[in-house]
Amino acid sequence: MVNPKTFKRLAYDDCLVNGGRPLKTSQTIRFTYSNSFMYPITFKFADFC
């Protein structure tokens, strides 16, 4: 089960990572697919500093 504070599904094909807050330096988000088919994950929006 994925912690919704870390990775939350908002709608089909739309998820929010880290509650919309910036990731800390070198912070990673990891999860394990529960479905046998792996869906592609792409950035919809991101600010890089």
The pLDDT of residue 22 is 86
CA torsion sign for 11, 12, 13, 17 is positive
Report the pLDDT averaged over residues 1-19: 83
More confident residue, 10 or 41: 10
pLDDT-based confidence at 49, cuts 50/70/90? low
Burial 5-23 (b: 16+ CB within 10 A, else e): eeeeeeeeeeeeeeeeeee
Q: Which of 25-29, 33-37, 45-49 has the lowest mean pLDDT?
A: 45-49
Q: Are 19 and 8 in contact (CB under 8 A)?
A: yes
